[in-house]
Amino acid sequence: MIVKMKPKTTEKQVAKLINFFKEKEIEYLDISSDEYHAFRLEKTPYLKEIRAFDEVELVLPLTKRFSQISRENQAEDTVIKVKGKTIDSKTFSIIAGPCSIESEEQLIKIAKTLKKNKIGFLRGGAYKARTSPYDFQGLELAGLMMLNRIAAEYDLITVSEIPSADLIPLFEEYVDIIQVGARNMQNYHLLKALGKATKPILLKRGFGATIEEWLMAAEYLFVHGNRNIIMCERGIRTFETYTRNTLDISSVLAIKELTHLPVIVDPSHASGRYQMVEPLSLAALAVGADGIMVEIHPEPTKALSDGAQSLKPSKFTTMIEKIDQLLPLFDKKR
């Protein structure tokens, strides 16, 4: 059950309801927002009494396990504001950058490509989640600081993946949008901690996660206090091996139907091949995604990670030109 209180309820009235919960030994979780007080309750025989409280506006049954992020709970689409830009259903947000931050020179070249194409978001991995311990692990703190410095110089909004909860203070300082990688989507300790973070979270779908499990991960962030969540479909593991993953394009439609959160597509990790990035990006736009996140590199063959799926600046520019031509057809701007 979700118990939602009227918007202008006083602290005293809230305390009265909490006292009632305690008196009747009703287990509750405070899920209040800036606009109203709300609680999630375990099953209770006292629903009639709770409804009778003057200040209680709504008692909602939990028909979905992800109640807070569900459309039932909020019909309008969430709008995420970050440094003067918005990520929402009226916009096609484009996030681009290298898989790994490698050097200042590499980032500057990429930042210039982004500016030339009027792209506002720069991604770059500093703490890399690599399958092999022998592969490049990222520049770590030095990379994060580099990303921050160059983004400030070129007026770009940054996105980078966080590896663990202990680094939240660092990411709060250096990054604008904190990415949760596919491998960490079900790290509930990390999700709970990020619920308290002030920065928006880009939540990638785990490659073995169902849509419901992915939504439950978002619910974790939301109930623990962070309402600025961007869902990111990045492909799932299927029996198919021709592509790195299988892009579950219909998950975009499912997310739109079930939640009020924005959802973007990562065609780079979904396919693993640069040749597929443009067509899949156009498919993302056509299916109603709120944006894409793509990997680009000045010299993909020399990339320290994911070169095979990274676009060269020239190919990236061509793709953006095509997207720009199609945006009006889908009632989107960027």
Residue 332 site contact among ligand PEP, Mn ion, none (CB < 5 to 8 Å, cut-off depends on kind) = none
| Least distance to Mn ion, CB of residue 99, Å | 3
| Least distance to Mn ion, CB of residue 234, Å | 9
Nearer to Mn ion, 99 or 101 (CB): 99
| Least distance to ligand PEP, CB of residue 26, Å | 39
Nearer to ligand PEP, 26 or 311 (CB): 311
Query: Rounded to whole angstroms, how far apart are CA atoms 108 and 298?
Result: 10
Residue 182 site contact among Mn ion, ligand PEP, none (CB < 5 to 8 Å, cut-off depends on kind) = ligand PEP
Nearest residue to ligand PEP, scored by beta-carbon proximity: 181
Residues that bind ligand PEP (CB under 6 A): 99, 125, 129, 161, 181-183, 204, 234, 269
Nearer to ligand PEP, 181 or 200 (CB): 181
Q: Are 267 and 247 in contact (CB under 8 A)?
A: yes
Reading the block at residue 140, the tokens are: 């770590």
Nearer to ligand PEP, 99 or 146 (CB): 99
Reading the block at residue 158, the tokens are: 């940054």
Nearer to ligand PEP, 22 or 302 (CB): 302
What residues contact residue 209 under an 8 Å CB cut-off, 6+ apart?
Answer: 185, 186, 217, 236
| Least distance to Mn ion, CB of residue 211, Å | 22
Residue 234 site contact among ligand PEP, Mn ion, none (CB < 5 to 8 Å, cut-off depends on kind) = ligand PEP
Residue 157 site contact among ligand PEP, Mn ion, none (CB < 5 to 8 Å, cut-off depends on kind) = none
Residues that bind Mn ion (CB under 5 A): 99, 306
Q: Are 62 and 39 in contact (CB under 8 A)?
A: no
Nearer to ligand PEP, 39 or 207 (CB): 207
Residue 199 site contact among ligand PEP, Mn ion, none (CB < 5 to 8 Å, cut-off depends on kind) = none
Q: Are 80 and 200 in contact (CB under 8 A)?
A: yes
